[in-house]
Structure 1
Amino acid sequence: MAMDSSEIADRIARHFVTEKGDLSVKPLGDGLINDTFLVTEELPDGERFVLQRINSRVFPEPRLIMENLRILLSHVRERQAGTADVRDLKLPEIRPTRAGLDFWADSEGDFWRALSFIPNTGSHNVLHDSVQAEEAGYALGRFHALTADLDPGLLHDTLPGFHIAPRYLARFEKVAAGVQTVPDSEELRFALDFVGARRSFFAVLEDAALPLRVIHGDPKLNNVLFDEHSGLAASLIDLDTVKPGLVHYDLGDCLRSCCNRSGEAADDASTVAFDLDVCRAILRAYFAETGAFLTAIERRYLYDAIRLLPLELGLRFLTDHLEGNRYFKVERPGQNLQRALVQFRLAESVETQEKSIRRLIDERA
């Protein structure tokens, strides 16, 4: 009889603990890529840690993820050492196996790693007020400030092509041209037409001469951990996508996630809108951390990033829908198409507010 995922995780977790006592292993979060579990050692003062099975279809070389993580954590520790007057941004630390390894590869070829659990924190899928919005902006800005002097050439590109929108467009067009069995619908026609009308825009960032920096890669709202007592941003998690890239990918993705008050899983895409007040709060805190080193050309393309990132993610959801849901996990038929519609409506809302968004950027920059 096959073991379920929690039973497998329990067996793997024992490689990361020294005692032989009971473990509590429970699924954690609702990520669309990796399988994540919270492990608690059933001992007096037993520790908790996060165990993850890395999706090797998405990350074909997970060892490089761990090398990047070691470099990042070492740099951030050094930067934050001796700065008692500045609030630290806590990042998950690597928990080694009993043998001192950073990861465990099981007999099935799956790659597992353990990270420290940051207690007394929680995440949100939707922002509740402007204070949380500012804290999300602070978390991303602080991350970029801490890594501004880290040479991006030291990091591996663990996801070649990630956030390179013209490549997603080329992939979409190849998939769409070969699909003959997807049922036609009003929603699907809207999505296809929406992408077709914006084909020329997908290369806007790649055609610009923008500097490479260290980026988080996936700074959506639920990757920010908030302190349960103070409400302040305490951590930025999910560091698998840390790599060389454009800060535009990060800021655009953060705003894409946070400024959609209906949430990324909205059932009715027509309710989705880009919230200018949230955008204002995030930019205020973000620029307070990054204003000293962002260049003029980087600022010039920030609006384009804010428009592009929901369009890009929507295209990825749409491609996966056409291809049979091979990348993003789904719970029901048509879910990836619905996800795409949410992102396209968000991009459309950004477009209708271009002047206001550019004004906010100019005020803060």
Structure 2
Amino acid sequence: MRRAEIDGAIGAQTYASLVTIAEAFEIPSPVETVEPFGRGLINDTFRVAAGGVRCVLQRINGTVFPDPFRILSNIQALDRQARRHPDLGFRVPALIPTRAGDAGLRAPDGNVWRLMTMIEDTVGLPRVEHPDQAREVGRLLGRFHTLLQSLPPEALGVTLPGFHDTPAYRARFFSVLARIEGARDNPKVETCVRFAIERQALARRISNARDRGEIPVRVTHGDPKLDNILFDRDSGRAIALIDLDTLQPGLIPHDIGDCLRSCCNRSGESAHGRTQVMFDLAVAEPILQAYAEQTRAWLNPEEIALIPEAIRLMPFELGLRFLTDHLEGDRYFKVVEPGENLRKAEIQFALVADIESKAQDIEIMVNRFFHSPT
């Protein structure tokens, strides 16, 4: 990619300014190339090459994350924990310090940048195509949670306040719905609104269990979707969970439910047409089995009991967020065309409905894998 093309692809940052930022970190100088990298919707991400070293440069979105340096501190805590448990084979993209010895760089315009090692010889998967891949997803998430279950949640800061606070998302949805005149005139919006209203009690069940002290707050990833899992190119083993911005105190059922929401809907979040959306039990089964093998020794009974509820809750929560953002004029989630967030809400709600039709099968799986070793 030529420099002029890169300048056009990266918006406010020029190629020269990116080189200057990259060279502020402890990497060989001069920087050879900087190019846009990945498909993230929140941060600006670039691949940097310098002296035979390849790394990932990111501008942390300060509008979304109020304290970017808290994210960096949490990643360092995860890295230290992983180094203490090399037997788990979990790899963490390490932060490269600035030449001043800081975890990140605050640029003159106030933006915070980080540079991380690239985990080489890995690939991501657009979808789960084989049971072995599904087992790897479950095994990796289970090892990740096992790695962190001995880390006190108070050792990490909250990087995204209100994340996975489904009751708050529900309250915002109703507030926006009441405020926007004619919001329900669109028949597709009305269908989604009715779906959300009929299931609004779902929003509080897991948070209520937390508030009653039935399930503990632990350190969680926050966004363990398939896009954030890296597989070894040669062996096919899942070896890393990336995109660690939402690593913070949270609830294990949320992580499990979000992982299954992502992996078991093969049509993806942007599919066209509700009829294509389904929750694939053939993918869910090996994920749950492998996850249970890693975690059944320490998960408490209430966390296990809430897994089926979480599998239903997470697409409901995401659908509610997409619908709210559509009503507000697409302020949070980036869209390519008008109506995209509404379509995504329809997809997530269709996934909820399919999960409800398979609730008994999901319950049977959870009971079999978590309560009786296989």
Alignment TM-score, normalising by the size of structure 2: 0.92
Task: Determine the structure 1 residue equivalent to 2:36.
Answer: 27
Alignment TM-score, normalising by the size of structure 1: 0.94
5 Å-filtered alignment, 1:165-314, equals 165-180=166-181, 184-208=185-209, 209-314=214-319
Q: Residues 16 and 188 from structure 1, CA distance in 2 versus in 1: closer, same or farther, beyond 3 angstroms?
A: same
- What secondary structure sits across from 1:204 in the alignment? helix
Q: Deviations over 1:204-258 (max 9, x none)?
A: 1011121111100000001000111111101111111111111001000000000
Q: Deviations over 1:114-159 (max 9, x none)?
A: 1110001011221111111111111110100111111111111111
Q: Residues 48 and 193 from structure 1, CA distance in 2 versus in 1: closer, same or farther, beyond 3 angstroms?
A: same
Superposed displacement of residue 72, structure 1: 1.6
Q: Deviations over 1:72-91 (max 9, x none)?
A: 211121122xx3xxx50111
2 CA distance for matches of 1:175 and 1:268? Answer: 26
Q: Contact 2:19/2:31 (CA < 8 Å) preserved in 1?
A: no
Superposed displacement of residue 11, structure 1: 3.4
2 CA distance for matches of 1:122 and 1:59? Answer: 27
Q: Contact 1:6/1:25 (CA < 8 Å) preserved in 2?
A: no
Q: Contact 2:122/2:230 (CA < 8 Å) preserved in 1?
A: yes
Task: Determine the structure 2 residue equivalent to 1:59.
Answer: 65
1:49 to 2:58 alignment? no
Q: Contact 2:43/2:60 (CA < 8 Å) preserved in 1?
A: yes
Superposed displacement of residue 262, structure 1: 0.8
Q: Residues 18 and 68 from structure 1, CA distance in 2 versus in 1: closer, same or farther, beyond 3 angstroms?
A: closer
2 CA distance for matches of 1:24 and 1:336? Answer: 35
- Counterpart of 2:331 in structure 1: which amino acid? R
2 CA distance for matches of 1:35 and 1:290? Answer: 35
Task: Determine the structure 2 residue equivalent to 1:9.
Answer: 18
- What secondary structure sits across from 2:168 in the alignment? helix
Task: Determine the structure 2 residue equivalent to 1:40.
Answer: 49
Task: Determine the structure 1 residue equivalent to 2:4.
Answer: none
Task: Determine the structure 2 residue equivalent to 1:75.
Answer: 81
- What secondary structure sits across from 1:68 in the alignment? helix
1 CA distance for matches of 2:116 and 2:98? Answer: 11
Task: Determine the structure 2 residue equivalent to 1:326.
Answer: 331
Superposed displacement of residue 182, structure 1: 5.2
- What secondary structure sits across from 2:128 in the alignment? coil
Superposed displacement of residue 56, structure 1: 1.0
Superposed displacement of residue 335, structure 1: 1.2
- Counterpart of 1:173 in structure 2: which amino acid? F
Q: How many residues align?
A: 357
Q: Which blocks of at least 5 consecutive residues in structure 2 are unaligned?
A: 1-6
State the Cα RMSD in Å. Answer: 1.7
- Counterpart of 1:56 in structure 2: which amino acid? G
2 CA distance for matches of 1:199 and 1:331? Answer: 29
- What secondary structure sits across from 2:204 in the alignment? coil
Superposed displacement of residue 34, structure 1: 1.2
Q: Contact 2:58/2:115 (CA < 8 Å) preserved in 1?
A: yes
Q: Residues 141 and 18 from structure 1, CA distance in 2 versus in 1: closer, same or farther, beyond 3 angstroms?
A: closer
- What secondary structure sits across from 1:205 in the alignment? helix
Task: Determine the structure 2 residue equivalent to 1:100.
Answer: 101
1:364 to 2:365 alignment? no
Q: Residues 18 and 127 from structure 1, CA distance in 2 versus in 1: closer, same or farther, beyond 3 angstroms?
A: closer
- What secondary structure sits across from 2:59 in the alignment? strand
Q: Residues 183 and 165 from structure 1, CA distance in 2 versus in 1: closer, same or farther, beyond 3 angstroms?
A: closer
Q: Contact 2:90/2:144 (CA < 8 Å) preserved in 1?
A: yes
2 CA distance for matches of 1:275 and 1:358? Answer: 14
Q: Residues 96 and 74 from structure 1, CA distance in 2 versus in 1: closer, same or farther, beyond 3 angstroms?
A: same
Task: Determine the structure 1 residue equivalent to 2:346.
Answer: 341
Q: Contact 2:90/2:240 (CA < 8 Å) preserved in 1?
A: yes
Q: Deviations over 1:64-105 (max 9, x none)?
A: 11111111211121122xx3xxx5011111111122111111
Deviates more, 1:180-189 or 1:1-10: 1-10
Superposed displacement of residue 266, structure 1: 1.1
* Paired-residue identity, %: 44
1 CA distance for matches of 2:29 and 2:184? Answer: 53
- Counterpart of 2:241 in structure 1: which amino acid? L
Superposed displacement of residue 21, structure 1: 2.4
Q: Contact 1:262/1:271 (CA < 8 Å) preserved in 2?
A: yes
- Counterpart of 1:106 in structure 2: which amino acid? A
